[in-house]
Structure 1
Amino acid sequence: MQVSDLLVASLEREGVEHVFGLPGEELEDLLFSLRESTVTFVPVRHEQGAAFMADVHGRLTGDAGVCLSTLGPGATNLLTGVADAHLDKSPLVAITGQGGLERLHQESHQAIDVLQTFASVTKWNTQLDSSEIVHESVRKAFKVAEHEKPGATHMELPEDVAGGQTETEPMAAGERIPIGAPAPDSLDRAETLLAESERPILLVGNGVVRTDASEQLREFVDATDAPVVSTYMGKGAVSDDDDRSLMTLDSGSNGEPARAIEAADLVLTLGYDIAEHDPGDWYPGTTPLVHVDSEPAEVYEAYGPDVEIVADVGETLGHLTDWCRAGHPSFERDWYDDLREQIVADVDDEPVGEPPFTVRSVLPVLRSEMASEDVLVSDVGSHKMAIAQNFPTYEPNTCIVSNGFASMGIAVPGGLAADLAVDSNVVAACGDGGFMMNAAEIETATRFGCEYTILLFVDDDYGLISQQQQAHTGESFGTELTNPEFQTLAESFGIEGYRPESATEIRDALRDAIDGGLSLVEIPVA
């Protein structure tokens, strides 16, 4: 078969349903191979959007999302979304086209060293410089991308290799390699610290959601009544309806969750990725610390665990739960109740009056109009901080927040990927800054019949940067924006546009939008 056919057949063996990308001259053979396959090619409007789609697909499904670009500017446009997946620990396989091998030794049109460019944002990347390595490379790309901790991989396909012939067959997809069981001595040391504590607290990260350990976590919480603070990407691992949930870690050292950690006499971090939150902002430094994750803790002056359990997080929690149920610990049960009450009171404030509203006041209305299994994809900006801290989340993987690389522009393309990946309703929340970066993907969404809600918070400003400048200097510079008429923009794409002018209209607009097709709800905020 043709080598491009082999690559696509290998994607089929991996169970790939969608490839998100932009066509290019060097991709001609691969595109026509995709046309004849069971894989749906989703042509997008910008390569960054394609990578964000693959990123969110990987977050929601655990299966590597696939994105595609041509060489040169196509590959560099793809880079941001690939980096986002890499630092957010989302499985992603990127494929880039390249010119023929005969011209890569010299300066030539659009040719750069893409492998070198992608090296720092991938777990593994390679050039498919021979037809004989394609089947093995595809298998390795998926195996490495999906293995805990997941991330991005990359393959470069020169056009002369793609058009060549091969007798090689695709490899069968392999089973995921399980993470090992906890070491008995590490468990014993963790149990000793638990036995000596009265006020343990759990800091729950992305690793719990990513490894499907939420059920074991909830059983451990039931056995101990220990309070839970989540990172942004750990939201939903324990339901925020649970009285033991203290919602989400603040971005700094202020707020009730941070005060609870300071008052605790033992901290257990579960699936905590240090790229999310600087431990210097939340860890007191003297409290005994147990690190439970699939990899050893990062070497960090502000984060020195007393015990490291490098193992499957769910299995480790199962062992600790059994030990607790055997009657070993005796913990205080109500030391964090006042903090929980303050958090709930803050979260329940609803909007009043007329615009401009605040993001925080809109979130209770949004929460009430979304089912527990519906998915919220948050862009990056000041609204992300509000969503992370004030949007109660009840199930794992239902609030998608980018907090490793934290790149703006993910929500609109991410909403498209989420709509293709799940049966639930999807809301993509973004500010006007992030929205305009990839608003063109609305056309892609309409072309593929997607139905999700774009919730657009408008303040005509890069609000988060402006807030930080104001806090530091009392003024801001370089952050102000002007915007199009967003309802008209929505209608130009053939979708419904809403601009509620009162608290009642916000609820009505969100209810209509979430229950309807692809739509945009614009809310002015201050």
Structure 2
Amino acid sequence: MQLTGAEIVIECLKEQGVDTVFGYPGGAILNVYDALYKHQDEIRHILTSHEQGAAHAADGYSRATGKVGVCFATSGPGATNLVTGIATAYMDSIPMVAITCNVGVALLGKDSFQEIDIAGITLPITKHNFIVKDVNKLADTIRKAFVIAKSGRPAPVLIDIPKDVTANKAEYTRQERTPSKKEEICCSQELEGALKLIKTSKKPYIFVGGGAVLSEASKELLEFVDKMDAPVTDSLMGKGAFPGTDERYTGMLGMHGTKTANFGVSECDLLVVIGARFSDRVTGNAKKFAKNAKILQIDIDAAEMNKNVLITQGIVGDIKTVLQQLNKILPQQEHREWMEKIRENKEKYPLRYNPETLTGPHIIEEIYRQTQGDALVVTEVGQHQMWAAQYYKYKEPRTYLTSGGLGTMGYGLGASLGAKVGRPEKTVVNIAGDGCFRMNMNEIATAVRHQIPIIQVVMNNHVLGMVRQWQDLFYEKRYSATILEDKVDFVKLAEAMGAVGIRVETKEEFAEAFKKALKLQEPVVLDCQIGCDDKVWPMVAPGADLSKTFDETDKREG
């Protein structure tokens, strides 16, 4: 049948099983929005307050559900406002399709009103992108975009469509979505090499990254850990792939990792790295990272092998498939002395904070207690992000959503909206600092407009907390441009946008306020007043060896 390009866009989204789109309309994309109007009972559109919020919402939807997130934007500034959200998704390997519309084909390259080369701009931060100048190629391009976004190492794909292409007509025939196939067999030589490393190890450690989440490998990972009889650490992106409640879990690795994990990885003789890319925030001094260990890396992306850290053995393949194959051939291992030492270190080096007053760690632990560990936690970037990673025990994958690679302030609120839309049965809590909340706080209006009951917790210390922490520790307390003392009232702001706002200053007040927020089932902003000099402990200085992890006691004593 003959359809306009705009109608083809909507039909192709329906083919792909898309039920929600996040976006903001404008002149160049009007035809698509007009076509969407006729299908609003099949595809829900969430009108965000800003295009950046739409990109982050599509990202959060994808992380929470495992589906491909979709966002719309018009030409020019509408399209460029997506860029930070696309880059955020790209750095964390999140499958997303961004559809932008541009000026007509005849106007391209002529500095037309609201024209921008969005394909050129996003080339370094997308897995692939397209500009579709022929309506006859539109349907196949959209289908291809979804396959590319989801297959292999996932990532965002952008499709730019000139306005006249959305108006032109072409023959459209519905196609059934083809499920993506995974490689079923790994290289036997690689598997045998891995098996040899594992069987000869006396002090193994397992490091889990976001690839284990993306490949849905939690079940296989748990079996692998059982067979390995090894302690487990993770990255920000790997949270929940292995349950944080398991006795073999030792906390996060890296700059704000636990002493147990950092010391253990520094001492182990084999580090099995599953779906992680050796970020500098994880390794510290890369030349000294796991200096006593052989390294076995399992990753779907061959480009990650030997990129940041030299490894002993690599297995390139889908994490789930590789672990299935390893589990078939791996005999039960036993490392009683090593596991006992790790247990002793966990007791010797617990996470600590001041129990006398309202602090970030206390807030996280109270949220954990009241949600019984079943919430979907989203964060912005900074101290609160680290506390949420340290003190909430993530039992399942896709329950901790954060900007790990790009470190995007302003990510969390939009992402929490997408997460709640994608998984409405979950309690969704966005944790923010006051600096991050200011970035995209206009999305509270989106939550109210669409009746999306998220809980926004603001750890309000009236400073840019993580930057101030570095200024305190490494810049002799020169607090340049990090003090946010002004008259902004987040409670009044929340109320002005139609949400519930509650200010809390004590532990007791927070417990009551959060309990109320859970019952209300509507957008709530909790303005939590905490100390401006509270710090995230432990810490590794930038570029230092992980074995040099220190905390407040170490700093005071030496």
TM-score range (shorter-chain normalised) is over 0.9
1:155-181 residue CA offsets vs partner (Å, 9 max, x unmatched): 111111111111232433221121342
Equivalent position of 2:527 in the other structure: 522
Q: TM-score, normalization: structure 1?
A: 0.95
The answer as to whether partners of 2:266 and 2:292 remain within 8 angstroms in 1 is no
Partner Cα separation in structure 2 for residue 371 and residue 301 of structure 1: 40
Counterpart of 1:420, as a letter, is: V
Counterparts of 2:74 and 2:355, CA distance in 1 = 47
Aligned CA RMSD, in angstroms, stands at 1.9
Displacement after TM superposition at 1:111 (Å): 1.5
Displacement of 1:225: 2.4
Q: Provide the C-alpha distance between the structure 2 equivalents of 1:35 and 1:169, rounded to a whole number of angstroms.
A: 21
Counterparts in 2 of 1:412 and 1:296: CA distance versus 1, 3 Å: same
Task: Kindly indicate whether the alpha-carbon contact (under 8 Å) linking 2:209 and 2:235 is maintained by their aligned counterparts in 1.
Answer: yes
SS at match of 1:153: strand
Query: Shift of the alpha carbon at 1:22?
Result: 0.8
Query: What SS does the corresponding residue of 1:209 show, helix, strand or coil?
Result: helix
Superimposed CA distance per residue, residues 303-354 of structure 1 (whole angstroms, 9 cap, x where no aligned partner): 1111111122123223333434x346656431201222245x426x57434x
Overall identity of the aligned pairs, in %: 29
1:114-133 mapped onto 2 (5 Å cutoff)? 114-133=118-137
Equivalent-residue separation in structure 1 for 2:376 and 2:465 (angstroms): 24
Alignment of 1:139-150 (within 5 A): 139-150=143-154
Measured in 2, the distance between the counterparts of 1:194 and 1:8 equals 50
Judge which range, 268-277 or 200-209, deviates more. 268-277
Match of 2:556 in 1: none
Q: Give the equivalent residue in structure 1 for 2:313.
A: 307
Maintained 8 Å contact 1:207/1:234: yes
Contact map agreement 1:380 1:406 (CA 8 A) in 2: yes
Change in CA separation of 1:198 and 1:224 when aligned onto 2, cut-off 3 Å: same
Counterparts of residues 345-384 of structure 1 (less than 5 Å): 345-346=350-351, 351-353=355-357, 357-384=358-385
CA offset at residue 389 of structure 1?
2.3
2:209 corresponds to which residue? 205
Structure 2 vs 1, CA of residues 439 and 301 (structure 1 numbering), >3 Å: closer, same or farther? closer
1:426–1:164 Cα change, 3 Å: same
Cα deviation digits, residues 228-264 of structure 1 (max 9, x gap): 0010111111211111000111326873211010121
In 2, Cα distance between equivalents of 1:342 and 1:68: 51
Q: Residues 35 and 41 of structure 1 are in contact (CA less than 8 Å); yes or no, is this contact kept in structure 2?
A: no
Which one of the candidate residues 96, 99, 108 is aligned to 1:95?
Answer: 99
Superposed CA deviations along residues 487-514 of structure 1, whole A, max 9, x for unmatched, are 1111222222222232112111112212
Residue 440 of structure 2, aligned match among 438, 441, 444: 438
Give the distance between the partners of 2:442 and 2:383, measured in 1 at CA.
22
1:106 maps to 2:107: no
How far does residue 6 in structure 1 lie from its aligned partner after superposition?
A: 0.8
Residue matched to 2:537: none
Q: Do the aligned partners of 2:381 and 2:432 also contact (CA within 8 Å) in 1?
A: yes
Q: Following TM superposition, by how much is the alpha carbon of 1:302 offset from its aligned partner in structure 2, in angstroms? A: 5.0
User: Residue 512 and residue 18 in structure 1: after superposition, are their counterparts in 2 closer, same or farther (change >3 A)?
Assistant: same
**Structure 2 Cα separation of the partners of residues 120 and 287 of structure 1:** 34
TM-score by length of 2: 0.89
Conservation of the 8 A alpha-carbon contact between 2:251 and 2:258: no
Quote the Cα distance in structure 1 between the aligned partners of 2:199 and 2:8.
57
CA distance in 1, matches of 2:420, 2:223: 31
Q: Which of the numbers 326, 345, 352 marks the counterpart of 1:339?
A: 345
Deviation at 1:68, TM superposition (A): 0.8
Q: Which residue of 1 aligns with 2:459?
A: 457
Q: Counterpart of 1:214?
A: 218
Work out the CA distance in 1 between the residues paired with 2:277 and 2:184: 19
Listed as ranges, the gaps of 5+ residues in structure 1 are: none
For the structure 1 residues 511 and 342, does the alpha-carbon distance in structure 2 shift closer, same or farther, using more than 3 Å as the test? farther
The alpha-carbon distance between structure 1 residues 51 and 327, as it changes in their structure 2 partners (threshold 3 A), is closer
* Partner of residue 174, structure 1: 178
Opposite residue 374 of structure 1, the aligned amino acid is A
> How far did residue 358 of structure 1 move?
2.3
Q: Deviations over 1:352-393 (max 9, x none)?
A: 34xxx3212322111101133320001112211222223221
Distance 2:502 2:468 in 1: 27
Corresponding residue SS for 2:273 = strand
CA contact 1:26–1:71 (8 Å) conserved in 2? yes
Query: Residue by residue, what CA displacement relative to the aligned partner does 1:449-469 show, whole Å, maximum 9, x if unpaired?
Result: 111210111112222112112
Change (3 A) 1:329 1:346: closer
* Alpha-carbon displacement from aligned partner over 1:102-121 (angstroms, at most 9, x marks no partner): 11132222212111101011
Matched, 1:72 2:76: yes
Unaligned 5+ runs, structure 2: 532-558
Which of 485, 505, 514 is the aligned partner of 2:509? 505
Contact 2:254–2:283 (Cα < 8 Å) also in 1: no
